[in-house]
Homo-oligomer: A and B are copies of this chain.
C-alpha cells in the first residue's frame, strides 16, 4: 500500500499538484468546484498530508514545544491538559520536555525544539534558571514564545500568570480571620516573580492587619517537603509563631509533619495554609487549606495566546488567571 501524495491526486484529476495543494488549503484562487472535487478525491484515495514536506517547505512546523519543570506535578500536568485541549483541535501537535528544574536541561530542551523548527514554544522556567539568553534566542528567531506561571517579565512575548498576589493575600487574610496572629511565611525563590508576588500578598495582608513582617519571619527557598520540615523545626525552637503561609503545598506538608511530630495541634495551636492544591492536600491529615491555581485554565489561555501569536497577532501581553482559596482543616480556628 503506497502512500498517496498530492501528485497522485493531481494525476487522477488531470490537474497540477499546485492546484491540489491550494485546493486542500482552501485557497480561494481555486474554484469552489475544483476544491470540492479535490477534497472528495483526496478522501476517496485516503490521502494523508506529509507534514514534513510541508514543514520543510514552509520552514516551520505545526508542532508546539512545551517546556515544564516536571510533568508529575499536579499543577503542570493540568496545564498540559489545558494546553492540549486547545491545541489539538486546532491542528497543532505538542511535544513536551521536562527540565527537572535544571537550568542546563532547560537550555538543551529549548535548543532541541528550535532545531526541530517547532512553530512556537510554551514554557515555564525552572527555579534554577538565572540566565535567559536561550529565551532571547527564541525571540530573535521570531519563534513565538508564551511563558506561564514562572516567567521572566523582561523577555518579549505573551505571559500567563496566576494571581499570586491575591491568592497569598486571601490565604493570609483567612488565617487572620481564624484568629492567628504570628504568621510566618515559607517562601520560594524570591528572585522568581511568582514567589515574590506571593510574598507581597502575605506582606500586604499582614500590614493591613497592623502586623509587622520581620525578616526572621520569612524563610526563603523553602518549598520542598524537607525544607518545610526543617524550617518548621527551627521556627518552633527560635520564635513565637502560630501559623504559616507556605508558597507551596510540599513545604506545607513538611511543616505539618514536623508539627505533628512535636505534638503541636493543627489547627488550634497552629494554622497552616499551602499553595497549589496538590491532590494530596485534600487527603492528608489534617487536610490542607490551600490555593487553587486553575492550572487547566492557565493551559487553555497559554495555548490560545500561542495560536494568536502563530496567526501573526503578537500581543506581548500579560494575562492573569484568578485563583481561589480552598478552606480545609489545617487552618481552622485558633483556640
Instruction: List A residues at the B interface (Cβ < 8 Å).
Output: 48-53, 55-56, 61, 63, 70-72, 74, 77-78, 80-81, 84, 93-96, 98, 112, 115-117, 253, 279-280, 283-285
Enumerate 27 A-B pairs (CB-CB under 8 Å) in ascending A order.
Answer: A48-B115, A50-B117, A51-B115, A51-B116, A51-B117, A52-B55, A52-B61, A52-B117, A63-B116, A70-B77, A71-B71, A71-B80, A72-B72, A72-B77, A72-B80, A72-B81, A84-B98, A93-B95, A93-B112, A93-B116, A94-B96, A95-B95, A279-B279, A280-B280, A283-B284, A284-B284, A285-B285
Which residues of chain B are within 8 angstroms of A78 by Cβ–Cβ distance? Answer: 72
Q: Tell me the smallest distance from the CB of A162 to a CB of chain B, in Å.
A: 18
Closest chain B residue to A72, Cβ basis: B77
Which residues of chain B are within 8 angstroms of A61 by Cβ–Cβ distance? Answer: 52
A52 touches B49 (CB 8 A): no
Across the interface, A53 reaches (CB within 8 A) one of B56, B74, B112, B284, namely: B56
Across the interface, A56 reaches (CB within 8 A) one of B52, B115, B253, namely: B52
The CA-CA distance from A77 to B52 in the complex, in Å, is 29
Closest chain B residue to A100, Cβ basis: B81
Across the interface, A72 reaches (CB within 8 A) one of B55, B56, B74, B280, namely: B74
Which residues of chain B are within 8 angstroms of A51 by Cβ–Cβ distance? Answer: 115-117
Rank and list the top 10 A-B pairs by shortest CB-CB distance, nearest first. Answer: A72-B77, A285-B285, A52-B56, A280-B280, A95-B95, A283-B284, A280-B283, A52-B55, A96-B96, A52-B52
A49 touches B115 (CB 8 A): yes
Which residues of chain B are within 8 angstroms of A74 by Cβ–Cβ distance? Answer: 72
A95 touches B98 (CB 8 A): no
Which residues of chain B are within 8 angstroms of A112 by Cβ–Cβ distance? Answer: 93
Across the interface, A98 reaches (CB within 8 A) one of B81, B279, B284, namely: B81
Q: Tell me the smallest distance from the CB of A11 to a CB of chain B, in Å.
A: 21
Across the interface, A77 reaches (CB within 8 A) one of B71, B81, B280, namely: B71
Which residues of chain B are within 8 angstroms of A49 by Cβ–Cβ distance? Answer: 115
Which residues of chain B are within 8 angstroms of A71 by Cβ–Cβ distance? Answer: 71, 77, 80-81
Closest chain B residue to A71, Cβ basis: B77
Q: Tell me the smallest distance from the CB of A196 to a CB of chain B, in Å.
A: 27
Q: Tell me the smallest distance from the CB of A225 to a CB of chain B, in Å.
A: 10
Q: Tell me the smallest distance from the CB of A139 to a CB of chain B, in Å.
A: 13
Which residues of chain B are within 8 angstroms of A77 by Cβ–Cβ distance? Answer: 70-72, 77
Which residues of chain B are within 8 angstroms of A98 by Cβ–Cβ distance? Answer: 80-81, 84
